[in-house]
């Protein structure tokens, strides 16, 4: 088998233990005498599994009872529009904090359904720094405040949760969910695509405070309404059952690893190792993000000479280091260090970078 280190930003590497368990159970899951992909989502066996997974998630993240947990489809991008449709009435406005590509896209996709106010904007820094908190222009009358805790492309991350008063705080946690402990009570709604730290693509996690489900919004089809999905326990339509199952295995793996506090320590060590290699290279490698805003999950970096990029990518792949090409919006390289990336993978990358420097410096 030639499986190796996968630094993809998403769909991303998954825990090998999870993949092996799924492989072992693929043809016959528990006592169902069929694959988990083949059984009815409304049958007792899968309904029990769904309840078990929600219970595991609530225990892992400490989700209070007055928050609903939904497992949906459509990715985080669909939520950019749906959250505006569900949380704001016609004529209302919402505050958006722009810290990178995904914050921009969230605001753009919400615009047909809510008046978007840009409360803070880091574009002037080319998204190399977070917008200074003192400059945020928040409105107490906003339907919600939206921000992106971790920007996957630009490699920025908020170190803390912003204080926004009584206005519900909404966050796209796609690339940092389950990477550290999280105080859910600070948020009105959290959403995240699964394909980075939860499981495979095609599943979206939503955690929403119950009172927000009763907001008067606008006429819309039931399939677009969060309250309908909550009333049907995420089974309003046929869900991504296999993705849901794999998410459950991933939650169990995180628990076996020591939970979110252990994940946070593990992820901090990995990121520190790679940043130290970049910063200690004498300028051969560069990360342009302000040190206070550097992401633990997604680390973009650039070679001192862009003409070496294609050589670096070719040789790194030959060395078993996959998917290091930077996003087309930035170029360069990007290493994503999600939960499932082990320390050994980061050490292998650092060793390659140092060797590449010696050979091509």
Cis peptide before 11 (omega within 30 of 0): yes
> Which 3 state secondary structure label does DSSP give 170?
strand
Task: Using the CB atoms, write b or e for 193-202: b if 16+ within 10 Å.
Answer: bbbbbbbbeb
Instruction: Name the residues annotated as catalytic.
Output: 102, 172, 196
Query: Do 158 and 300 contact (CB within 8 A), yes or no?
Result: no
C-alpha span between 340 and 113 (Å, rounded): 37
Q: Are strands 150-151 and 156-157 parallel, antiparallel or unpaired?
A: antiparallel
What is the Cα 335 distance to its own chain's centre? 15
Listing DSSP states for 314-341 in one string gives: HHHHHTTEE--BPPTTT-SEEEE--TTS
Q: What is the largest CA-CA distance in the chain?
A: 63
User: Which tokens hold the place of 159?
Assistant: 């170190």
């Amino acid at each position: 088998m030639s499986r190796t280190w996968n630094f993809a930003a998403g769909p991303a590497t998954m825990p090998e233990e999870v993949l092996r368990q799924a492989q072992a159970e693929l043809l016959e899951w528990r006592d169902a005498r069929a694959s988990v992909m083949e059984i009815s989502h409304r049958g007792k066996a899968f309904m029990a599994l769904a309840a078990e997974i929600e219970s595991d998630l609530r225990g892992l993240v400490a989700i209070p009872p007055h928050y609903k947990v939904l497992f949906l489809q459509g990715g985080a991008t669909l939520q950019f529009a749906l959250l505006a449709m569900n949380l704001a009435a016609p004529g209302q406005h919402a505050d958006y904090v722009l810290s990178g590509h995904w914050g921009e896209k969230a605001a753009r996709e919400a615009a047909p359904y809510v008046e978007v106010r840009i409360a803070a904007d880091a574009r002037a820094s080319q998204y190399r720094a977070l917008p200074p908190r003192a400059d945020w222009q928040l409105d107490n009358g906003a339907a919600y405040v939206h921000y992106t805790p971790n920007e996957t492309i630009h490699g920025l991350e908020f170190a803390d949760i912003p204080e926004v008063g009584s206005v519900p705080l909404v966050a796209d946690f796609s690339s940092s969910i389950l990477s550290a402990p999280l105080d859910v009570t600070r948020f009105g709604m959290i959403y995240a695509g699964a394909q980075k730290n939860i499981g495979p693509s095609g599943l979206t996690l939503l955690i929403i405070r119950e009172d927000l489900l009763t907001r008067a919004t606008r006429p819309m089809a039931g399939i677009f309404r969060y309250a309908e999905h909550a009333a049907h326990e995420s089974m309003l339509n046929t869900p991504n059952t296999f993705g849901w199952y794999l998410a459950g295995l991933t939650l169990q793996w995180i628990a076996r690893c020591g939970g979110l506090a252990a994940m946070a320590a593990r992820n901090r060590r990995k990121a520190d190792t790679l940043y130290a290699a970049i910063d200690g290279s004498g300028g051969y490698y560069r990360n342009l993000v302000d040190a206070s805003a550097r992401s633990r999950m997604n680390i973009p970096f650039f070679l001192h000479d862009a003409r070496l990029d294609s050589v670096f990518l070719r040789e790194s792949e030959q060395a078993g280091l996959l998917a290091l090409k930077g996003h087309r919006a930035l170029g360069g390289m990007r290493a994503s260090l999600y939960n499932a990336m082990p320390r050994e993978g980061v050490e292998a990358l650092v060793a390659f970078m140092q060797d590449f420097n010696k050979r091509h410096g």
